Structure 1
Amino acid sequence: MFNVRSIVLLVVSYVVIPRLTFLPTNVHTLLILFGPFLLPRVVDWIDVARATGRSVPIRPVPPRVQHALNLLFVSAVVCLGLSLPRFAPENIFLKTQSHIRTETSVLFVRLRHLRELTGEDEVLRAKFASVRNKLLYLAYGPDSLLNCVWCSTANANDEQNYFLYSLPKIAMSHIAQLTVLGLATSSLVGAEGSRFRTHVTIAGLLMMVVEIWYLRTYDIITNKRATFVQDLDSAHWRIRFMRYMTFAVVDIALAFVLWATSTNRWLAKPVPIAERLELTTRQAEETLNRMRALGLLTNSVNRDPALRGVREGYWRTEGQVMAETVQDEVVTEEVNKVIRGMDFSALQGRVGDIADGVLKGIDSLRARRRKQMGTVRTGTYTEVRMHLGGSHWYCT
């Protein structure tokens, strides 16, 4: 049976998705293959989440979740700051707008016109005599080329050595991100955060694996085939920018998920029946204790002549004060003014609605009582004897 939703999903799956040609080829192919099967499940999942959220009232952000949100906010700001070019190592080719085939002497002459040369620049000048070192510079950054003393070996395995040298620095950034995600979803935050601990751990490990895999399979010869300066691929700087931007996006997404779920705006979990029964029982016991205390206090006041006189004197004085207040001309004028401004027809409708609600509640209580009384399958109630300790029912 077709409905509006199924028609919309069919149009999106077989008309809209095939026309998204701006997406990468692999992503486009996966969407075409699995889109018609995944879209209905995603929509059903969203409907279930919304239906569950409607049955649970919205609440403020718990204090421990607020601490996790503050941590994620600080982490996202730091990652966004680290992604800026100001905090990244200097790219000589980008700064001087030079091609990889530019002579080394010309490259550093251009750099000298922009700033003073340092000792590291002199070391780079010597290393840039080889074009392969320029390619390694663009792929692994200046630190690897300057400080890795064992990377350049005679067995022509320098690229793997530079990759191994860069691996600890990459892993440390991801470990720091995993630490932030772990703290935000730890038991210190409570059940609101720990329910997503597995998901964020998988996401953090996946980011690290993807970056390491991409750098390991990166072909440094790509820059050698570049024709123009704009075609140079500064892989080290691009990967660094994407790494910190991804960290910031993940932190913001986790913060939004924690905020939405902890306030019952999304994926709200209804209170378990056992917990609700325990809470209701506790409230009933507290109310009963208060009623007992009030009864004891009332009995004490009634039995003590002095306290009983104080109470009667209070109500006698209260009646005199209220009678004098009502008889005051200013009060009478204000009361008449309020009465003249009241809409009695609307008030009558509201009173009728309240009365109807009370009657419906009474009817529901009666129906529930009849249902409870109807659970007795055999016998008829013939006698009810009331005692001070309660009521006793006898069946024949």
Structure 2
Amino acid sequence: MGVSWENIRSLLIFFGPILLPKAYSWYGSFRNSHRGGASIQRVPQPVQIALAVLFGLCCTYIIKTLPYFAPENLFTKTESRIQIPVDVLFNRIAATRPNNALTEEDLALRGKFVNLESRLLYLQFGPRVMAECPFCTSDEPKSYFYYAIPDILWPHLANLVVIAVVTSPTWTGKYGIQWRTLATIAAAVLAIVEISIVSSYNYQGNARALRLGDLDMFFWTLRNYRLVFLALLDGVLGWVLYLSATNRAFTQPPSPAERVEKINRTLLSAKSKMNALGIMRNTALRDEDLRSRSHAYWSHEVRLMNEVMEDRDVIDGVNDALSNRINIQDISRDAESYAENVLQPLDAEL
């Protein structure tokens, strides 16, 4: 059930030019995030829901790998060798059914088990494809493969729909959209790899198995691998989505539009605070009681500062600073330059 080196090389040649630039950009964003570029934040509410969906899907995949949820294997259930006569096999199956009566699927499989080849194909494609395919015969093994393709692709397509939903910009915004392409490619690669494995599997290898333990239960093993890798894909997607949403890694610099919007919000906030301050000052000046309190405060402040400045120690300290530590000329020049820069636009308008 292995993948040949030729298949791996073909996939690398096809997806390498797409993945290498992305890997380099991820490394750069990961390094920048650890240099303190962006502050850690809480997971946004939409991303929390997306992570919950991915976690639930991962748990579902893992649970479905349990033998209880796997399709029935006639040979394992009856502990029979693959060379067992058909009548003996289905007599054992009937003994496990209610009222010792075979089900419709059992009867369909009994009609398909005409030779050893059909049993080998059963181990490759499973009971449903073997029982329900109306045109498949053991003389044309590829017919079972063509009929099984929808069953193989269905889990991948369903998982791809979930990935598309949780990475949509309307749900998870920029945090999900940055992983959408890669997650889609990874899902497509899983589907292609599974199709390739099923197509190239040598089902006749089981013909030499003399004991039940020697049989390669290809269909059931591949099903478990499929579920595990789908869970792994969704788990990795949830992990990187969490890292990018909290700015722990893979942070993206804000776009020019986002930077302009942030500056506008900052300016509007400052303007609103200045307006509020102006309203408060206007109210204080118009109200007689507040105006008298303000005048009393500043009168007290002036008197207090005069008393402080008349203190001998303060006078000595000020004189020492003016003569030794402070350059009055530089301060005057800076103040004059600042005043000119402030008043120059007003003079131009006048």
TM-score by length of 1: 0.64
Q: 1:286 to 1:86 in 2, by over 3 A?
A: same
Query: Separation in 2 of the partners of 1:146 and 1:211?
Result: 22
Letter in 2 for 1:50: R
- Residue in structure 2 matched with residue 118 of structure 1 by the alignment: 102
Q: Is the 8 A contact 1:59 1:263 kept in 2?
A: yes
Is 1:50 matched with 2:35?
no
- Residue in structure 2 matched with residue 70 of structure 1 by the alignment: 52
Query: Separation in 2 of the partners of 1:187 and 1:385?
Result: 47
Query: Separation in 2 of the partners of 1:264 and 1:256?
Result: 12
Count of residues paired in the alignment: 290
The alpha-carbon deviation at position 246 of structure 1 amounts to 1.2
Query: Separation in 2 of the partners of 1:268 and 1:386?
Result: 42
Is 1:104 matched with 2:86?
yes
Letter in 2 for 1:135: L
Three-state SS of the structure 2 residue aligned to 1:269 is coil
The alpha-carbon deviation at position 273 of structure 1 amounts to 6.9
**Equivalent of residue 130 in structure 1, options 96, 115, 127:** 115
Three-state SS of the structure 1 residue aligned to 2:134 is coil
Query: Separation in 2 of the partners of 1:384 and 1:82?
Result: 76
**Equivalent of residue 125 in structure 2, options 140, 147, 153:** 140
**Equivalent of residue 197 in structure 2, options 191, 214, 223:** 214
Q: As a proportion of its length, which structure holds more helix?
A: 2
Superposed CA offset, 1:89-117 (max 9, x none): 20011112211112223323433444444
The alpha-carbon deviation at position 279 of structure 1 amounts to 2.5
- Residue in structure 2 matched with residue 169 of structure 1 by the alignment: 151
Q: Is the 8 A contact 2:133 2:144 kept in 1?
A: yes
Q: 1:47 to 1:183 in 2, by over 3 A?
A: closer
Q: Is the 8 A contact 1:52 1:269 kept in 2?
A: no
Query: Separation in 2 of the partners of 1:294 and 1:58?
Result: 33
Superposed CA offset, 1:171-225 (max 9, x none): 2221111101111111222111111111011111111111111111112111101
- Residue in structure 1 matched with residue 142 of structure 2 by the alignment: 160
Superposed CA offset, 1:228-249 (max 9, x none): 2111011111111111111111
Q: Is the 8 A contact 1:137 1:145 kept in 2?
A: yes
Q: 1:84 to 1:386 in 2, by over 3 A?
A: closer
Letter in 1 for 2:343: S
Q: 1:278 to 1:128 in 2, by over 3 A?
A: closer
Structure 1 window deviating more from structure 2 (68-77 vs 133-142): it is 68-77
**Equivalent of residue 74 in structure 2, options 81, 87, 92:** 92
Is 1:228 matched with 2:211?
yes
- Residue in structure 2 matched with residue 181 of structure 1 by the alignment: 163
- Residue in structure 1 matched with residue 300 of structure 2 by the alignment: none
Is 1:302 matched with 2:254?
no
Superposed CA offset, 1:108-127 (max 9, x none): 34334444442332443343
**Equivalent of residue 174 in structure 2, options 191, 197, 215:** 191
Q: Is the 8 A contact 2:65 2:224 kept in 1?
A: yes
Q: 1:149 to 1:284 in 2, by over 3 A?
A: closer
Q: How high is the sequence identity, in percent, across the aligned residues?
A: 34
Letter in 2 for 1:260: L
Query: Separation in 1 of the partners of 2:133 and 2:224?
Result: 23
- Residue in structure 2 matched with residue 83 of structure 1 by the alignment: 65
- Residue in structure 2 matched with residue 248 of structure 1 by the alignment: 231
Three-state SS of the structure 2 residue aligned to 1:89 is coil
The alpha-carbon deviation at position 44 of structure 1 amounts to 11
Three-state SS of the structure 2 residue aligned to 1:59 is coil
Query: Separation in 2 of the partners of 1:247 and 1:88?
Result: 16
Query: Separation in 2 of the partners of 1:219 and 1:24?
Result: 12
Three-state SS of the structure 2 residue aligned to 1:391 is helix
Letter in 1 for 2:199: R
TM-score by length of 2: 0.71
TM-align CA RMSD: 3.6
The alpha-carbon deviation at position 26 of structure 1 amounts to 5.9
Letter in 2 for 1:160: K
Query: Separation in 2 of the partners of 1:98 and 1:24?
Result: 29
Three-state SS of the structure 1 residue aligned to 2:226 is helix
**Equivalent of residue 391 in structure 1, options 327, 338, 343:** 343
5+ residue gaps, structure 1 = 1-22, 31-41, 316-369, 371-379
Query: Separation in 2 of the partners of 1:132 and 1:114?
Result: 25
Query: Separation in 2 of the partners of 1:238 and 1:279?
Result: 53
Q: 1:50 to 1:122 in 2, by over 3 A?
A: same
Q: Is the 8 A contact 1:187 1:193 kept in 2?
A: yes
